[in-house]
Amino acid sequence: MEKYSRFKREQLLYIGLIAAAVFRFIYLRQYVAAGVAVLVLLIIFFLVNQLHFFKRREWDKFINDSIKKLKPSMVEAANSAEFPIVAFTRDGQINWYNEAFNEISDAERLLDIDEVVDIDPEKIWKDETLDFLSLNEEVYKVTVIKYRAAHGEFEEDLLFLVLINVTEVKKAEDQKIITMLVEVDNLSEVLNSAPESRRPLISAAIEKQLLDYANHLKGYMKRYATSRSILMAPYEVFRDEIKKKFPILDQIKSINLGNTIEPTLSIGVSYDNDYLMNDGLAAEQAKELALGRGGDQVVIKRGEKLTFFGGNSREVEKKSRVRSRVIAHALRDLINESDRIYIMGHANPDTDSLGAAVGIVAIARALDKNAYILMDEPYRNVSDLLSMIKEEESYEDVIISSETALDNLEPNDLLIVVDVHSLGYVLNREVASASIKKVVIDHHRRAADAIPDATLNYIETYASSTSELVTELIQYIVEKPQLQKVEADALLSGIIVDTKYFIYKTGSRTFEAASFLRKAGANTLDIRNLLSYDKELYLLKAAIIKTGEIEKGIAIAVCPAGIKDPLIAAQAADEFLNLKGVTTSFVLAQDGSDVAVSARSNGVMNVQVIMEEFGGGGHMTMSGARVKDTTAEEVKVRIKEILKTTSKEEDEDESDTSQGR
């Protein structure tokens, strides 16, 4: 049709030129020539008009023939099908339809598909998904078929829509019941932050907010513990909550009756798991995942699919050390019951991972157990620290490869995984999947692919680092802990690096751990020398920062060609936050066919949620991802799209809030 349109415009151009010549002859008083030109103009106009209709008929015939050529049996079946089928061009013009479509749309009166349904044919042709559409209060499941026809000078892109009425199915789906487990994940901290006389009012306000929410969902809620409730609601109403992204998360935080800490919710949701019992178990898993990711979020578990909402609050440091003591005693018992201890961190280890591993070795030594740290190339991030550790005589045989560990694993051995809990990021997945006892110690927000069969999980997202957690465990497990200087240095360097010299995610327990390590012999000057870098590395980081684009406080940079080390990219991402006005940074490094992304934030934005879009993770202020089979520019465009969508949703939320006021 586009080629036909070009033909029509060209002929009109010729007519216009001859008409201009006529007026020119008249102006020059050459009336005979003007008369001849008028005659020629009329003849050409007549011929062009006839040719126009001829081309139009030929094009219509081409479309009909193209459809018929699909296969006579197919066309006949489509014509007599009980379900609606319609064919139209990329510019929306309807070319063919069956009787079933005519009955629901009165297609004989229509010229364009957008007169029937609100769709954009061009976007559909370019792979925009179209699953369902509504027509005459009926819901149809849509199947899109693309067909490119060409014959002679004509060519056209055709779209076929096959519509299956699923109205009754949708109605039945809307009536299904969803299971929600709701927990006020910081209730004790909220109440303790308020005067005693105000605490009953705060509890009552939280309870009322949850009851109002249950009524809004047309559901039933029952509290089964001080801070925990179960809520059942119809999917028909709950579906709107998904679209709105659960405003209850922000509403509950608005409670301010003298409390200095905002209450937050962790909600686990499940449905479509065959049986109500399965829904309950899945909702429990979803809620535990929400709590493990720091709370203030909703996790929906539908079959094996997980969906996350919220998670924008900073983790609140836990003042109570009861859990730390319980974990310490349980870990001591597991170590005593085991023959050998293997300690594994994440791939491409950092100082926190190695520092925590060294701390576990110190615990094992105090309990007279042999412990081994698994270490595989590449480990450039910790090469200097690793060299210091290997210089110690007691660590001569402690550092081994993961392959060596695999060859020597016995059923009564214990694997302690530090600074990682995701199967996708452990140093060696085979070791993590081995049939032995496992302990996980980590401070990152819980990922969907967490190590499933751990005997003991100690994942505390409030902690600054895994080294901080291990330092606390040392004090509870060993009565009079005696650390070697290199061990104290390794643990303190892990804390320093993850807190960026005690700036981010630093609580009172962080300083208490650092104080203990300082007394144990850690030397801050030695650690500073350990973490320092040379002029060449400084210039590489400067080159990355120079390429950065900064807009609305968000910096995005692609490493220049030749810089593909994730360590340099991560350090450059940290440096961006030192620039005035920069609150968030993303640095992308092309590494072969993969792209390593380092994301940092000062807490204004949750970069973990963004990195999860790429299969990565981390925590709110420090996260990363490795995107396979792509380019840095493509990832950059995708990050900008996510940021644009996030900004738009936040603006809409603010607009809704202001209108509500």
Q: Per residue in 174-184, pLDDT tens?
A: 678 899 999 99
Q: Can you name the CATH fold of 175-310?
A: Alpha-Beta Plaits (3.30.70)
How far is residue 114's CA from residue 92's CA, in Å, rounded to a whole number?
Answer: 7
Backbone angles phi, psi at 561, to 5 degrees: -55, 135
Cis ω on the peptide bond leading into residue 247 (within 30° of 0)? no
Backbone angles phi, psi at 267, to 5 degrees: -125, 125
Q: What is the average per-residue pLDDT within 590-594?
A: 87
The class of domain 72-170 in CATH terms is: alpha beta
For helices 351-366 and 383-390, the axis angle rounded to 10 degrees is 20
* Both structure tokens of 44: 């050409």
Per-residue DSSP letters for 318-373? P---HHHHHHHHHHHHHHHH-SEEEEE-BSS--HHHHHHHHHHHHHHHHTT-EEEE
Which range has the top average pLDDT, 171-185, 308-322, 409-423? 409-423
* Both structure tokens of 470: 């291990």
Q: Provide the pLDDT confidence category of residue 491 given band limits of 50, 70 and 90.
A: very high
CA-CA-CA-CA torsion sign (32, 35, 36, 37): positive
Is the pLDDT assigned to residue 653 strictly greater than 60?
no
Is the pLDDT assigned to residue 65 strictly greater than 80?
no
Backbone Cα Rg of the chain: 34
The second-level CATH assignment, the architecture, of 322-531 is Alpha-Beta Complex (3.90)
pTM, rounded to two decimals: 0.64
Is the pLDDT assigned to residue 25 strictly greater than 70?
no
Q: What is the pLDDT of residue 261?
A: 86
The second-level CATH assignment, the architecture, of 535-656 is Roll (3.10)
Is the pLDDT assigned to residue 68 strictly greater than 60?
no
Nearest alpha carbon to residue 447 among 630, 635, 343, 311: 311
Give the residue with greater pLDDT, 83 vs 362. Answer: 362
Q: What is the average per-residue pLDDT within 608-635?
A: 85
- Domain locations in the chain as residue ranges: 2-68, 72-170, 175-310, 322-531, 535-656
How far is residue 447's CA from residue 421's CA, in Å, rounded to a whole number?
Answer: 8
* Both structure tokens of 454: 């751990």
Q: What is the average per-residue pLDDT within 21-26?
A: 70
How far is residue 94's CA from residue 112's CA, in Å, rounded to a whole number?
Answer: 5
Is the pLDDT assigned to residue 91 strictly greater than 90?
no
